[in-house]
Amino acid sequence: MLGTSISAIHTGLMPEVIRVEADVSGGFPRFSIVGLPDSAITESKLRIRSAFRNSGLPFPQGRITVNLTPANFRKRGSGLDLAMAIAILRAAAILPADDGTTAFLGELRLSGELAPVETAVSLALRLQAANVERLVLAERQVVPPELAKYMQTIPAVKLTDVIAILTTSTHVNHVTPSVSVPPHDAKHETDLQPGLAALDGIRGKTAEKRLLAISAAGRLPLLLIGPPGIGKTLLATHLVDLFPDLDARTALATLAIRELTGPAGHLYRRPPLRMPHHSLTVAGLIGGGNPPQPGEVTLASEGVLLLDELFEFQRATLDALREPLTHHQVHLARAGRSATLPANFLLVATANPCPCGQRGYGECRCMESDVRRYWSRLSGPLADRIPLIVYLNRQPTTPVPPALDVSAQTLQARVQHAREQLDQSEDDTPSEPPFPRWLDDTAAAFLRKVNERILTSERARQQALRIARTISALEGRETVLKIDIEEAVLLRSHAHM
């Protein structure tokens, strides 16, 4: 007789759903597992047999064959123990047949107790995407309570508990594992996010903070240029602080991404900030290697990727940024298997204006040719994908209207509002007549004028319009005014390097 069950395992880059088949037939007693199991899975035979005996369950007589499908890649670890035991129990008619709605994750102890798998959130999300409705896992498995919003999770202490769950009730109540929220993730309305408090502590940088807000609201990549000591790295690290909190689903997805590199800890509502060293390789950036690992662009997904001292990075690494910057995902192929990983990050980078760092700010000791070679590392296609390339001022030169001098918390709220407004609006941005409806008449006339003189390429026009639209959204306006275009053109004035 045949029994089946559903589980999932890690394969390095993407979790895979595993369908377990068990066949029990007459003949010489024998227990084999096929479907490319590794040694830990082969040892499951001993654990399952002992777990049956110590749980008072009859181990089926005769020939038992367990098949792990799909069979075309190697399966690792002990997390399939429970699913294999369930498939055998179904094949032996001890349990009712599989209805395909419940999945099982967990290792079996010889006693029949369930042990947690290393990381469960990414597996659970993968199973949910495959229409699994509920998941049985070890009671000691730590999963964030938010997971229960998307999938019914049923904790069990031992194998006989699972049998009771599957036989006594087909409609188990919504159960959430008893997991306490870690104290450092507890959020009180009155607590100011530490990053925002630190940003408030940076005085007299109103224009720079507004620039960060524009970048965050429009998800516009940003390059900050200035001499050493001007504070560009500090500003860049605070870009992520202006991001709104992640919603539960996105927070779970980022936790699932962290799990690809090992145990990932708690669920964080704050978006990730990744700041890799400039020795970063192409594989380190986009993912790959052996064993395969997600790259920085994936680990920074939904958050910020900060490349400090951009020109210290290898040319090949910088060139590899182009695909994820354009498509917000990366394709990785390895040993005949491919995976598409998210890379929905916002890039912020810093750079000196020249090798000595003083050009335009102090006495520059560089030769023209050195400066040209220095800037050539920012290849045209990469520069084209960074709409905000801005030279920082040593002193505030243009007085900022008091209305713009707001707290970091207010800025963050405006970023959130602006993002919602921009996400809802249509994506049509004709940068030449007929202009879009949301462009005010005076703004349209001004744009026509600068299109002729300053914004000479289609990409430059599109980017200026995107920046202007982000600025108007930050101000809570639907209509783009002339002042928004002016500010956008000013912000783009250095983008022709």
Beta-bridge partner residues of 20: 5, 68
Side chain identity at 329, as an amino acid letter?
Q
The candidate with the shortest Cα–Cα distance to 331, out of 339, 343, 321, 322, is 339
Q: Is the peptide bond before 145 cis (omega within 30 degrees of 0)?
A: no
Nearer to Zn ion, 353 or 387 (CB): 353
Selected range binding Zn ion among 64-72, 198-206, 261-269, 357-365, rule: CB under 5 A: 357-365
Selected range binding Zn ion among 40-48, 133-141, 337-345, 364-372, rule: CB under 5 A: 364-372
Nearer to Zn ion, 274 or 359 (CB): 359
Under rule CB under 5 A, residue 391 binds Zn ion = no
Nearer to Zn ion, 354 or 491 (CB): 354
Nearer to Zn ion, 173 or 369 (CB): 369
Instruction: Measure the CA–CA gap between 434 and 11, rounded to whole angstroms.
Output: 51
Q: How many residues make contact with Zn ion (CB under 5 A)?
A: 5
Q: State the minimum distance, in angstroms, from the CB of residue 228 to Zn ion.
A: 11
Q: What are phi and psi of 220, to 5 degrees?
A: -105, 115
Instruction: Measure the CA–CA gap between 485 and 449, rounded to whole angstroms.
Output: 11
Q: Which of 364, 413, 444, 497 binds Zn ion (CB under 5 A)?
A: 364
Instruction: Measure the CA–CA gap between 282 and 314, rounded to whole angstroms.
Output: 9
| Cα angle 285, 291, 293; round to 5 | 30
Selected range binding Zn ion among 87-95, 276-284, 350-358, 404-412, rule: CB under 5 A: 350-358
Instruction: Please give the residues from 366 up to 385 whose contact with Zn ion meets the rule CB under 5 A.
Output: 366
Under rule CB under 5 A, residue 172 binds Zn ion = no
Selected range binding Zn ion among 36-44, 85-93, 155-163, 354-362, rule: CB under 5 A: 354-362
Q: State the minimum distance, in angstroms, from the CB of residue 270 to Zn ion.
A: 38
Q: State the minimum distance, in angstroms, from the CB of residue 351 to Zn ion.
A: 12
Under rule CB under 5 A, residue 356 binds Zn ion = yes
Q: Output b/e per residue, 276-306; b: 16+ Cβ within 10 A.
A: beeebbbbbbbbbeeebbbbbbbbbbbbbbb
Selected range binding Zn ion among 216-224, 358-366, 415-423, 426-434, rule: CB under 5 A: 358-366
Contact 189, 212 (CB under 8 A): no
Nearer to Zn ion, 227 or 271 (CB): 227
**DSSP classification of residue 113:** B
Q: State the minimum distance, in angstroms, from the CB of residue 141 to Zn ion.
A: 57
Q: Which of 135, 211, 264, 354 binds Zn ion (CB under 5 A)?
A: 354
Q: State the minimum distance, in angstroms, from the CB of residue 362 to Zn ion.
A: 9
Nearer to Zn ion, 197 or 364 (CB): 364
Long-range CB contact pairs, 352-358, < 8 A, 24+: 352/225, 352/226, 352/227, 352/228, 352/309, 352/311, 353/225, 353/226, 353/227, 353/391, 357/227, 357/228, 358/227
Q: State the minimum distance, in angstroms, from the CB of residue 366 to Zn ion.
A: 3
Selected range binding Zn ion among 181-189, 272-280, 359-367, 442-450, rule: CB under 5 A: 359-367
Selected range binding Zn ion among 5-13, 126-134, 141-149, 352-360, rule: CB under 5 A: 352-360
Under rule CB under 5 A, residue 179 binds Zn ion = no
Q: State the minimum distance, in angstroms, from the CB of residue 186 to Zn ion.
A: 49
CB-neighbour burial class of residue 208 (10 A; exposed 0-12, middle 13-18, buried 19+): buried
Give the contact letters, 308-347, x = binds to Zn ion (CB under 5 A), - = no.
Answer: ----------------------------------------
Coil vs helix vs strand at 138: strand
Nearer to Zn ion, 207 or 356 (CB): 356
Nearer to Zn ion, 1 or 367 (CB): 367
Instruction: Measure the CA–CA gap between 120 and 140, rounded to whole angstroms.
Output: 12
Coil vs helix vs strand at 463: helix
Contacting residues for 110 by C-beta, under 8 A, at least 6 apart: 47, 50, 51, 54
Nearer to Zn ion, 100 or 355 (CB): 355
Nearer to Zn ion, 108 or 354 (CB): 354
Contact 224, 392 (CB under 8 A): yes
Selected range binding Zn ion among 16-24, 65-73, 228-236, 363-371, rule: CB under 5 A: 363-371
Nearer to Zn ion, 40 or 356 (CB): 356
Contact 257, 301 (CB under 8 A): yes
**DSSP classification of residue 76:** -
Under rule CB under 5 A, residue 359 binds Zn ion = yes
Q: State the minimum distance, in angstroms, from the CB of residue 497 to Zn ion.
A: 14
Q: How far is CA 351 from the centre of its chain?
A: 26
Nearer to Zn ion, 198 or 366 (CB): 366
Contact 350, 25 (CB under 8 A): no
Query: Applying CB under 5 A, which residues contact Zn ion?
Result: 354, 356, 359, 364, 366
